[in-house]
Amino acid sequence: MGKLGAFLFISLDGYFKGPNEDISWHNHGPEGMELSMKGLSSGSTLIFGRTTYQMMASFWTSPNAMETMKPVADGMNNNNKIVFSRTLEKADWNNTRLVKDNLPEEIKRLKQQGTTMTILGSGSILTQCASHGLLDELQLLVDPVAIGNGTSIFKGLEKSFNLKLTGTRTFSNGAVLLNYKSL
């Protein structure tokens, strides 16, 4: 049986993005880069919603990404990806498949096939998967910054979603990685 995990970075006040999709407050740092490379080498299929997909596709295929973060850019460009969107017309980033509807059924089907998946960003996808009991693991990288306004990672969650803390790691820049398993 496959698994569905999620990785998001958040501010101290619980936002994964600021107003106007701003994530400039997040500092990857060398330990964050190492964590990204480890995750990308796992062979996990990356899961996105439309907004995150468009942001990621435009950045990770850029010359800037290839120059400044080549190992991560290579992983992002080479890994299999699925974008869930009802409005996106096509997904032309390398190794990407577009799924227009039935998110819970598609995730269940992939898990039954043994596919390991990781949601990156994509708060609405995370919330839908949590609401349907599909999320197995969650990693939150808490940045030592409060941004005052933004989008909560579980915006729109209609019922409780219980987790068990399984590990922590403090980074030299003050960020803290929290690892959880779903109950």
Contact 108, 134 (CB under 8 A): yes
How many distinct structural domains can be found in the chain? Answer: 1
For the segment 74-118, what is each residue's pLDDT rounded down to a tens digit? 999 999 999 999 999 999 999 999 999 999 999 999 999 999 999
Residues with Cβ within 8 Å of 176's Cβ and at least 6 positions away in sequence, in order, are: 141, 142, 168, 169, 170
What are the φ and ψ backbone dihedral angles of 61, each rounded to 5 degrees? -95, 0
CATH code of 122's domain:
3.40.430.10
Entry field: residues in the chain? 183
Q: Which domain holds residue 127?
A: 4-182
CA distances for 52 relative to 118, 129, 148, 163, angstroms:
13, 16, 21, 24
For the segment 32-69, what is each residue's pLDDT rounded down to a tens digit? 888 888 888 888 999 999 999 999 999 999 999 999 98
Task: Kindly report the pTM of this predicted structure.
Answer: 0.94
The strand pair at 81-84 and 96-99 is best described as: parallel
